[in-house]
Amino acid sequence: MATGGRGGEFYEVDDVRRAYLRHRHDGLRSPNTVMEEPAFLDALGSVSGCRVLDLGCGDGSTANLILSGGATSYVGVDGSGGMVETARRTAGGDRVRFVHGDIEDVDVGAGEFDVVISRMAFHYIERLDVVVERVHRALSEGGRLVFSVVHPVITGHDTSGDGPRTSWMVDGYFDRGPRERSWFGSTVVWRHRTIEDYVRVVTRHGFRLDSLSECEPRAELLLGDADELARRRRVPLMLLVGATRS
């Protein structure tokens, strides 16, 4: 089933969401664990005493990470009702709140948050410039934005053919826009942008760029599994941007 609409819809199909979450939490086989999360934590730094907004929060696992880091509050927004239900079972307490809604519709008061994060969700967003402009307004002075996306080499590669990939062919790299992908037994639509686009969207909207990471796999996390390390070193899968409201 093609879910050409907003990104949350893709995760509404129970089997798709479950398959995604199995992969997401598949220990050292998960690129989120060995590539994205270490880069995300490095860029994020301390969230102690911060009010945190998470756009595309998923199943609530990031909420627990943020709360254990001493954040005073955490609001997670996700477009999939199934994800939000899961998140409410994963994380609770009076510092945390989950909202079922679309990232493109989030419009909170000026200066309500100190940190805005988004992990692997902005490549679903069509009007990213509008979202980043609103994030800028939502942040307190000196507030931070940290987000990760599917790497442009992956949103820009040709996915024809079945079975495990042995090579990647990037094509139409400078043609921005929607790209359909077969993923977890369904069809997803990702918005392809270049690395330069992701940098520009933050610098154009009043942020200073602090970090840009291509989430190189961490050998120390792979516990001597040389084959898995070699597999993960072939192509970048994620891109991460950290910026401060200036």
Report the chain's C-alpha Rg in angstroms. Answer: 17
Owner of token pair 């992956």: 154
Given the complex with ligand SAM, which of 104 and 114 has the nearer CB atom? 104
Nearest to 241 by CA among 158, 135, 166, 95: 135
Which of 74, 90, 102, 179 contacts ligand SAM by CB under 6 A? 102
Of residues 91, 96, 104, 243, which one binds ligand SAM by CB under 6 A?
Answer: 104
From residue 143 to residue 182, what is the string marking binding to ligand SAM with x (rule CB under 6 A)?
A: ----------------------------------------
Among positions 56-75, residues that touch ligand SAM (CB under 6 A) are 56-58, 61-62
List the structure tokens of 244. 């401060």
Task: Report if residue 88 touches ligand SAM, rule: CB under 6 A.
Answer: no
CA atoms within 13 A on the CB side of 182: 9
Judged by CB under 6 A, which of 8, 31, 236, 242 binds ligand SAM?
Answer: 8
Q: Does 103 bind ligand SAM (CB under 6 A)?
A: yes
Among 35, 50, 83, 215, which residue sits at the site for ligand SAM (rule: CB under 6 A)?
83
Count of residues near ligand SAM by CB under 6 A = 22
Q: How far is CA 83 from the centre of its chain?
A: 14
State the residues that interact with ligand SAM by CB under 6 A: 6-8, 11, 24, 56-58, 61-62, 78-80, 83, 102-104, 119-121, 124-125
